[in-house]
Chain A
Amino acid sequence: MRFLIVDDSSTMRRIIINTLKKLGHHECYEAGNGREGVERLATTPVDMIITDWNMPEMSGIDFVRAVRANEATRQLPVLMVTTNAAEEDIVEALKAGVSNYVVKPFTPDTIKEKIQAALRMAPSRTR
């Protein structure tokens, strides 16, 4: 499976990629904000997106809206990993089209479970 990790923190990208590799997923692409994520998706097909919320240039919420507005990417499962954990944040993220939600700080087990849950919810072409 191919993953796109969108986060302005290279540390967080590395932590998520390390977790994915432990799960056996070695094909991971990176973007530093939502705009770079949109550009990457235009050239690189992926099976799942993991994105932060608070990023410069284009936020995670605006990025998810762009993903859902594009016919080529609208079905992709999107996992949001963020410190924004208030109830209204989660509602806003789900309305924007996020498939599942992980609150930082997280344990490795939590992110594994959420990735697997998002994949189970995904259309068959992504599995």
Chain B
Amino acid sequence: MTIPETVVDHLVVATEEVFETMVFRPIVRGAQLDGDAVRPPSNVVATVAFAGHRRGLVAFHSSLAAAREIAGSMLGMEPNAVNGEMPDAIGEIANMIAGAFRTKLAAVEPASAIAVPTVTIGSDFSTRYGSAVTRVLCPFEMDAQTLYVELILNGE
């Protein structure tokens, strides 16, 4: 099963809006990857669950360096000066992407509610889900960095 193209497009546009208005960094969308055959090589993963008409998760993946660049840009700091601020900033990025995505969906279907973000930082970790899910991974280029936004839906 695959996630409908219009749903994925809402997620991509929501991500572009967040980077344009809050990060002030242009990003270029890449070709979406269906399923979980490709796992992004990320050190920072921020997830926001949602439930209601649809149930699932929005996950934002980036490298540590990209996460510091994003946090620095949001806060008006040099990336190498960013340290303790980074997890909260990346959580807020995921929160805004999930929120904008949820708002776009709510214009065409019953609304879902989103939870507060969770941020995981480390290396050599992966995520697994207990129930059957459908996944799509959307890559974005931010200069030399690749970021990924993933949509995981239950019961699609």
Contact = CB atoms under 8 A, between A and B. Distances in A.
Interface of A: 8-12, 14-15, 18, 54-56, 82-86, 88-89, 103-107
A12 B114 contact: no
Interface stretch (B32-40, B71-79, B125-133, B143-151): B71-79
A10 B71 CA distance: 11
Interface residues of B, number: 25
A18 B76 contact: yes
Interface SS majority for chain B: helix
Interface SS majority for chain A: loop
B98 interface: yes
Interface of B: 17-18, 20-22, 71, 74-76, 85, 88-89, 91-92, 95-96, 98-100, 102-103, 106, 111, 114, 116
Nearest to A84: B99
A53 to B, nearest CB: 10
Given A11-B71, A105-B21, 7 more contacts: A9-B92, A18-B75, A82-B99, A83-B100, A86-B102, A86-B103, A89-B111
Contact of B17 (A14, A18, A105): A105
Q: Which 3 A-B pairs have the closest CB atoms?
A: A83-B99, A85-B103, A86-B106
